[in-house]
Amino acid sequence: MLLIFDCDGVLVDSEPLSCRIDAEILTECGVPYTAEDVARDFTGVSIKDQIARIESERGTRLPADFTERLNRTLFQRFETELKPIPGVREAILALPFRRCVASSSIPERIALSLRVTGLADLFDTIFSSTQVARGKPAPDLFLHAARQMNARPEDCLVVEDSMAGVQAAIAAGMRVIGFAGGGHCGPDHAENLRRAGAPIVINRMADLPGTVQELA
């Protein structure tokens, strides 16, 4: 079995920080958003798809340097403020299966996130939505990861915190565990993941090893 981990909100508790910064930069660009708006609309979505949706829905064009400004600010704050999801290292080390990361973030952000949280040594392989035509909720990223890891979709188990990610895993023909223990997860998050199609949702990383073993 191949375990495929999302990064933001599953391995690292980045969503509250990144949503806040995203909203700040968007508002500075004249497109007002709150952190709650960003969390609701764009959790698990690639920056490319986020920009396209904002420009379509708001009838505007974001500055050409929007992505650069956003990433520069995020990277600076991640260096000092980013933390791992509690218990995630211990949970991963308790699982004897092959593993990789497949995230909507750009490769540089994934690598930085894993480094500053002390998780980089757990993953030899990371995959980014920049490597495929369509981001989540399309299945492209997860299917790409499976191909590169020489695994059949039916032999993959995805751990995801976003509705888009859950939908992508199911569209790829993979099993999925929803995770609702990140700092951005409100009281309805677990139910939203179930509604997106996750048959099992956990709230603590301590529950991951037992859940995975039951599905193996």
Q: Tell me which residues are annotated as active site.
A: 6
Helix pair angle (163-171, 140-148), 10° resolution: 60
Q: How far apart are CA 141 and CA 146, in angstroms?
A: 9
Q: How far apart are CA 4 and CA 170, in angstroms?
A: 13
Residue keyed to tokens 């500053």: 116
Per DSSP, what are the bridge partners of residue 101?
5, 126
Q: How far apart are CA 79 and CA 216, in angstroms?
A: 36
Are 26 and 32 contacting, i.e. CB atoms less than 8 angstroms apart?
Answer: yes
